[in-house]
Chains A and B, each alone.
Chain A
Amino acid sequence: MIRAGDEDGDRWDRSRRIRWLDMERVQAGRYLVLGAGALGNEAIKDLVLAGARNITLVDMDHVVRSNLNRCVLFREGDSAGKRWKAEVVAERASDLDPEVRVRAVVGRIEQLEDREWKEHDVVLGCLDNIAARLHANAHAYYRGTPYIDGGTDGFAGRVQVIVPPSTPCLQCGLNKSHYKVMEKRYSCTGSEITYFRPSMAAEITTTSIVAAVQVREALKIVCGRKDAVIRNVVHYNGVRNSWDELEMSIEPSCPLHVSHS
């Protein structure tokens, strides 16, 4: 027996119409989101609306007013109250869906316990610097957990999907220009010196596009569709509205691949 109007009473009815989207797997999946800034806000929003139930969110920072042009889950009062980003996002995620459980971890990703990397099915990197990305890349790779890294800069964006042990990792794609950025930061910071780091331009359209791609790739992974994920990285140019999917190869001297083999 069916009942008129049943379709519209099921929160996931429209999602279930996508054949490969396995809602049981989506809801059972364990997602680790690193960063609760612009990308992190969008990623959590998309994950929750997509049906994710178990999310761990890590961020060390508090909300400031300049976050409000691109962070859908922050409010004026959050910046006035200098609230922790992770806690605010976790609270607002429950407004979107009371059944979701977002565990907020206020701290650096380097402080995450080792078990966290293997207890999740997928890691989403919503970070803002290369050093943190390398940390996430190494720990996720070592534990065999897929890592989806997102990055934006103005109207430019990128998403890389790393599925150990078959794909190249983030470190495989680095060159001297990346290390120069890291070196400059490290050489300019210390107990008595503060390195001036200019704020980057960031806006919601590119952020939402990049985070949406990250979440979609995560859904593919938890639904067992690793065959359909990005190989290996996509670069987005928001001015031209163009996407380029680029293949990478494993760097023979990359310590992660050497240690893995």
Chain B
Amino acid sequence: MTLINVERIKLFSTRSPYWCLIAIVVAALGFATLFGLIESGRAAITYLVLRGTSLGMSIFMVLAALSITTEYRFGTIRNTFLAAPRRPTVLLAKTVLIAVLGLVVGTIVALAAFYLAKGLAQSPLVPMELNSGDDWRQVLGYGPLFAIAGIIAVAVGAIVRQSAGAVAILLLWPLLIESLFTLIPTVGEKVGPWLPFAAADKWVAPSSSISDLFQSTNTGPTPIQGLLVFAGWALVLWLVALVLLQRRDA
């Protein structure tokens, strides 16, 4: 608990987290506004409206990765380890802080984006409602998604120990690597949907027949499987980070 507070002080005593948070809000609400206004909100469907929030998740990963890579960049990681020589607890504290922050930010931003688009859209194709559990999942699902993405980012940051490298990996991975992977014949089609970010996307994608509009094939994980796959990747990466952190010189 003490160390979580320490991580909180560290995170919020620099400027970059604030800029990242602002960028997340702008991305999420900006996208929602566009979908709400263009063509009187005809395309305002929850999944599409919240694509901006999904972009916000990438920005949140940048925030999370920077929380550890800047410590390496400026050497403060050594001050951290001098003050708390048990490194696993340091990584755990940082991860918990980022995960909780991600949960809060993801939930708030997704809800805000949803209601903003709902309020702006005058004649949506399908009314934007939060009736079924399925509807709720597509919005509130961003909370856990942000949290897990944050854990992945902290892990990657701890493994790479370099801002540019970590950010590049975290941005290129979902945007490029996974989509390129699906192009590989046979294997790509089968394995592609189980890659972390594709799987994560399933968790906030509509599961009903509407999904056929956006996805050519409906194979791959179910929403809950998607979330578990994403969490599994996070756990594996985090454990790798933990082992490296313990073994390497600070």
Determine if chain A interacts with chain B.
no
Q: Residues of B with Cβ closer than 8 Å to A?
A: none
Q: Residues of A with Cβ closer than 8 Å to B?
A: none
